[in-house]
Structure formats: C-alpha cells, structure tokens
Chain A
Amino acid sequence: MVDSEPDAPSPARTPRSAKPQAARATTTTRKAPAKSGTTTGTTTPRKAPARRPVKAAPLEPEKPREIVLSLQGLVKRFGDTTAVAGVDLGIDAGSFYGIVGPNGAGKTTMLSMVTGLLRPDGGHVHVHGADVWSDPVVAKRNMGVLPDRLRLFDRLTGSQLLYYSGTLRGLDRSTVVSRTADLADAFGLEDALDRLVTDYSAGMTKKIALAAAMIHSPRLLVLDEPFESVDPVSAANITEILRRYVAAGGTVVLSSHSMDLIQRICDHVAVVVNGAILDSGTVDEVRKGKSLEERFVELAGGSKIAEGMEWLHSFSD
C-alpha cells in the first residue's frame, strides 16, 4: 500500500565510485525550482516521474539496478494491534538506507522480519533473490544483523564472541582470527578483546555486536539503532567504516531516531509511521528542501505544542 513505485528510488543509482555527496549536490540544485510546486500538499506522493528523465540521463547506462533487499506486502499483527501494515520496499545494492520513525512505529518489528528473527503474518522478504522465510540458509548468509535490545552471549570475551559469530557463519579458523584482529583495530576494541562482553560499557557492546555482524563479509547489513548509546567519536568511526563498506558495493539498512544523523550519512530514507511507510526515496526527495527533521515531524502528524504547564515556569526553590 505504501511505496506505490518500488523502482522510484532513482533508476540512476550512483555508481560505487561516484561519491554520494557529489550526486546529492547536483540533485539539490536541480530540485530547487520544482520544490515550490510540491510543498503545497504534504500528502501528494513524490513527483518521481517528472524528475526521473532529468536525473537518469547521465548515469543510466552504466549500471543496471540491482535490488538486494525487497519487502512485499509485509504484515505483522500482535493481537489487535497491527505493528507493520503491509510494507513494500525495494532497496538497491550499494545504498545507505535509513529508516526513521517515532517510537513504536514498527521499525524494529519490520527489521526483525527482514532478518528472519520474527515470522511475518503475511508478505515476503527477499535478500539477493532468496526468500528469507522459505530459503533462510541462503538468504541469511548474505545478511549481517545487529538487533536492538537483544542479549549477546556476554559471558564470552570479545574475541571469543567474534570467533563464535564467525564460525557459526561457516568461516574457518585462520580467517576468523585475522578478521577479528582487523575488526578490533577498526572499531578500537583491541584492549577489550580479552574481557568479558558483560563487563563492557553500552557503547562498546554495540561496537562488538556490530563487528560480529560484519565478520562474515555479508552483502547486506541490517542494523537496528546502531548509534544508540555510542559516543560521538565512536559514531564517527562507525560511520566511516559503513561508508567505506557502501563505497565497496555493500548495502546498509539502518534505523535511527536521529534525523540529523540519517540526513548526514544516508543516501536513501524511508519514513515509517504506525507500521506504514509514509515516504521513501533519496534523502533529498523525501526532505523536499527542508531539513529531514522538519519533514519528518510534518509526516508524522505535526508537533504538539505544550500548553498548560505554566507552573513549570514559576520555579519552586
């Protein structure tokens, strides 16, 4: 019901080599005149068709579009409440895809069904052509997963956890050991490898889980709130790692509350509210010239102005 045109997120996928920033800069300038027309009605769907020929022209022939993750009519109900209400979404290989939504919008539920952790009530998920729910072994092999708020085997040391994640994914001993060293180096976890994960801080736990999700070099990374409780320095570090992964052809799908962050690091975004995707496309298409945060608040039903709290303004001593 939502994304009526699954191929809308630009037939003109920027090729790996071209940095997204460059592409984005051109689109913004091009969009400026068109915008005045679109802003009037927030409910109007994207004007992708109008834009497509312009954008497609220079890059089209170089790379045929390859959808690495597709969701079709995904539905999940918990009792009477519908957590995910028929989501369709196609994500191209090489995208840095952000999923934003308010608390309880169904982001985690959606990503859990994508990663094969939660059985959907209806619909299909394909990863690189393999159905997650009827051909899980192939589909999951291509996927690295960072779930939100699930435990780790935290009585293992950091290096044991990475080794465990790697061998469960079928890597051999020497590969895991060398990749563990690389990952520890990249995430700045060298000093923590010999300590139990249960003694880690929240941010470090997030980092080791992220490292574990990457150890089998998956085609697709599905990350639920990867930046929560991560300090800014580590967040910048993680962003850099993910950017390079995307530049090399990998695909990242991540969820976050932080609009700023999504606007900064993602090239595509989907806005999820009440289990449905209200808008999706490149970040510039979705934000329509405003900041992503303003656009998001608009889509999510406007901000509520706090009234009747005057007592808060007369301070008790």
Chain B
Amino acid sequence: MAAQFLRLKLRLLGNAFRRSPWQLVGMLLGLLYGASSGIVAISGLISLRLVEAPVADAIVTVFGGIIVLGFVILPLAFGVDDVMDPRKLALLGIPTTTLARNLALTSLIGVPAVVLTLVALAQVVTWSRGPLPLLFALISVVLLVCTCMLLSRVVTSTAGFLLSTRRARDISGLVGFLVLVALVPVVFLLLRVDWANDGYRVLQGVASVVGWTPLGAVWSAPGDAATGDIGAAVLKLLIAIATVVLLWFAWRALVFAMTTSSQRLAHVRTYRGLGWFRLFPATAAGAVAARSATYWVRDARYHVSLIVVPVVPLLMMVPLAVVGVPPNVLALFPVPIMALFLGWSVHNDVAYDSTAIWLHVASSVPGKADRIGRLTPALLLGVPVIVLAAFITAPLFGDDAILPALIGLGLCILFAGLGLASVTSAQFPYPAVRPGDSPFAQPQAVGTASSLIQSFSFFFTAALSAPVAWLAWLTLIEGSKWALPTLGLGIALGLVYLAIGVWGGGRIFTRRGPAILAFSMRN
C-alpha cells in the first residue's frame, strides 16, 4: 500500500511537468529557488564546522528555527494546493492509521522534503566533532525530517479543512499577507544590529529561547552535546521527540476528522437591502459603479489593492531613509506613489469578473457605461485620499506652497492611470486570480503578457504625467509661482486623459465584448 501511495505521488509530480510551457517555467524557477536556497544553507552549515561550538550552536538554532517556521507560514500565506488531501481518499475505505502513515510518507517525495533532508544531513557535518555530538546530530536528522513533514501536512490540511469556507479563506490570505508585511520592520530592525560587535550576543539571546521551543530544540540538541551540556542536549532531544509524537497524533486525528466529517458549513451572513445600489443612480453606469464598489468592499482580491496603496510608499521610504534621504524630502513621495498605485489597481479589472462578464455582453451594456462604472470607486476613493495625503505631507515637507503642486501632480497621475486602465482592461486583459480563490493564489495560466502589461501601464502612466511632474519640480526649486499652474495643468491634463481613456476604452469594450468573454472562459 505504501508503495502505491509513493508511486501516486511520483506520478502526480511527474504530471506537473506535462502542463503548458509557462507553468513548466514557473516550476523550474521554483526548483531553482529551492535548490539555490538549499545550497546556501548546506554550504553555511558545512562551513560552520570550522566555527567554535557555542557560536555555531546559536546560529544553527536560530536559522534552523526559521526554517521550521517556514513550513508553517508558507502554506498558510500562499495556500498550497494539497494534491494528497485525505478527503480525496476517503471513499477507498483505508484504515485511518494506515492512511495517515502513508500520506505522511508521501510527503517525503517532493522538493521541500529533499532540500530539507540535505540540509539536515549538512547539519551532521557541522557537529562531526566527536562521537556524542555526531550521535545527537544523526538522531536530529530523523526528527527534523519527521517534524517538518508532519508540520507541513498538518498545516496544509488544517488550512484546507478548517479554512475551507469562503470567508475564512478570504481572511486567512489577508492575515498571511499582513504578517509578511509586518515582518518587514523586523528585518530592518535586524539590519540595524551592529553584527560585527553585538551579533553573537543577539543571536545567543534568541537561541537561548528558541532552543527550548519545538522550533529550535531539534537543531540545538547536537550543539549542546558539542559544548558539553549533555543534560540540556537530552532534554532538548526529548522535546523534539515529543513534538514529533504530538504532531503524529494531531495528523492522525486530522485525517480521521477529514475522512469522516462532511464539509464544514459556513455561517451565512445576510445583508439587508440594496447597499451601494441604493446610492448610485439606476443607470447602467450607476449599476456598474455600485457593483464595483460592492466588490471593493467584499472581495478579498480588491482588499489587497486597498492594503497595497498605503503600504507601498511606506515600504519605499524605509530604504530611502536608510541611505540618508532627508525626512522632509521623503514626505513628498507618498502622494504620487499612492496615486500611481490607485490608478494602476484597476488596469486588469475586467479579468477579475471572470466569466460573469457575460452579463454585460448579453445585456449589451454600453462600453462607456462599463468603463465609467468601474472607475467610479477608484475615483471616489482616490481623489479624497490624494487631497488628504497632500494636506498631511505638505507641512511635513516644510513649505505649504508645495501643496497645490502636490495635489495637481497626484490627481494627474491618478486620472492618467485610470484613463489608461480603461483602455488596457478592455484591450489587454490578462489572467487574474479567479473569484473566490485566495488573493495570493497564482492564476491558472500565466504568460509574459501579464508582466508586460503591468509594467507598461506603470511606465506609461508616469510618462503621461511627465509634464505635470516637470512643473512640480519647478515649484520645488524655483518657488511657489509654479504651484498653481501645476495644480491647473495637473487637473486639466488628467481629465483629458480620463476622457480619452473612457471614450477609447468604451469603444474597445463594446467591440471586443465577446472576445473578452472568450478570453475569460479560457482562464
């Protein structure tokens, strides 16, 4: 039976190579990434053989703990498609223990398991400094592989089982993303540590805690053996063994629960009345606007854009601050950058509808109405945000005269981006995450087209706003006499772009309606 399971997993892996060339490229990139990070870790561990034991112990414990943590976080954040979901085998009537064991065994086949095993073996080299550390290290190899594989199985299945309702999926993806965003400051905090002098102390401090947790115990035990603290080494080994045993029981219980219970029923929320549809006029454009606004509020894929808009300028400012750009100059960045991202956020809006776009085609919605409707939420949100952000950041710059110029530039970029998005989303839709999937899932089909269109809309928006940016620059260096012209030209030029975009995009949408539907059915 175990052999059959392993063959099945191998076949599934092999079949992954028989898909479209672009998916193959994606897989190979993944392999390359896994291999290169594995090589870094392995060579690091081997070279630690030459480092004195306490230092090596601290380093191995901390980074090993991060690796184990990775097996928890990555499946949660990116939503792994579980090819060996126990539920798929529920109807075969295999005893739970056998099923749990065989499924756990199959997780040994795959890139993560292979890389992890090699890393665990490299750790043996680190501790090849005497029979006792070597013994502990060899036991650690087994425990490590068991821990990580069971952990990823438990996490993946929990995600697939307990988070199977739509709402839970929407939320968990966002939480994962927020955690990753929150890690950024931590990374910068770590970068600020003076590693040459304090590094060892910091690592030692972290390792002394992590080493006693299930994350680090298995990595730390051989190190303790090497430094001569046999008692601690044995205790940590016991912690590691207990971890594996607990994970095994958790996995077995999960397999039992998954194969015997039916789908979890979601608590269904109700919404009173017509919501946004009440607020917009009962015309085609108004209805599309209300529908878009509803999706901005309810659909996790739009939430991502909403989060990205304020987060990106902050992320960009951190490295600039590190290189020493003065803070008052930094204050000028958020407005144009947020405008750029807001305008860009709808450049593939039609693809988000997936095949539901048939309704617009079958109702022969005028292209212009469709375009205006889709832009409305971005405008209603964007204009106040830009103006407000300008009012906040201009005083931070230290010269209120810059305020009109900042508003003019921001609005011009926003309008130009939205006008361009009107055209691109009708003419060049590219595969997007499908409704209801995790916002971070990869679209079923990807191609070079998507990245080309993404960067094109970015740079073309910037190019369209260049004249206004030039005026804003003049305001900055020659003074306030250019401020009002910047505001005037920014709004005027922006509105022209918007009008052209809506007009042109509308014509394209009307003409290409069935082609857009055909596109959405292919993806």
Contact = CB atoms under 8 A, between A and B. Distances in A.
A156 interface: yes
A106 to B, nearest CB: 16
Contact of B358 (A136, A147, A163, A176): A147
Interface in B254-273: 266, 268-273
Interface string B354-371: 111011111111000000
A273 interface: no
B514 A143 contact: no
Interface string B312-329: 000000000000000000
A254 B19 CA distance: 36
B364 A198 contact: no
B155 to A, nearest CB: 26
A265 B356 CA distance: 29
Nearest to B521: A150
B363 to A, nearest CB: 4
Contacts of B295: 153, 155
A172 B283 CA distance: 8
Contacts of B362: 115-117, 140, 143, 145, 147
- Residue among A156, A169, A176 facing the most chain B CB atoms (10 A cut-off): A156
Contacts of B269: 195-196
Contact of A165 (B288, B298, B359): B359
B263 to A, nearest CB: 12
Given A156-B291, A156-B294, A163-B277, A118 B514 contact: yes
Interface string B387-426: 0000000000000000000000000000000000000000
Interface size, A (range) = 35 or more
Contact of A164 (B272, B291, B354, B514): B291
Interface string A184-221: 00000000001110110000000000001000000000
Nearest to A149: B355
- Residue among A155, A163, A176 facing the most chain B CB atoms (10 A cut-off): A155
Contacts of B270: 157, 194-195
B228 interface: no
Nearest to A143: B362
Return the 3 tightest CB-CB contacts between A and B, nearest first: A167-B287, A173-B282, A151-B356
Contacts of A153: 291, 295, 353, 356, 359
20 contacts: A116-B514, A118-B518, A140-B362, A140-B364, A145-B358, A151-B356, A152-B359, A153-B291, A153-B359, A160-B275, A164-B287, A167-B282, A168-B287, A168-B359, A169-B363, A171-B282, A173-B282, A194-B270, A199-B266, A199-B268
Given A145-B362, A156-B294, A168-B359, 19 more contacts: A117-B361, A117-B362, A118-B514, A119-B518, A140-B363, A143-B362, A147-B358, A155-B295, A156-B291, A157-B271, A159-B274, A160-B274, A167-B282, A168-B284, A173-B282, A194-B270, A195-B270, A196-B268, A196-B269
A194 B271 contact: yes
Interface size, B (range) = 35 or more
A199 B290 CA distance: 20
B515 A163 contact: no
Contacts of A116: 361-362, 364, 514
Contact of A136 (B271, B288, B291, B364): B364
B444 to A, nearest CB: 14
A143 B361 CA distance: 12
Nearest to B297: A155
Interface string B10-35: 00000000000000000000000000
B284 A170 contact: yes
Contacts of A160: 274-275, 277, 291, 294
B436 A198 contact: yes
A168 B514 contact: no
A264 B5 CA distance: 49
B299 interface: yes
Given A143-B362, A150-B355, A151-B356, A196 B282 contact: no
Contacts of A136: 364
B435 interface: yes
A119 B515 contact: yes
Contacts of A145: 358, 362
Contact of B354 (A115, A151, A168, A176): A151
A164 B364 contact: no
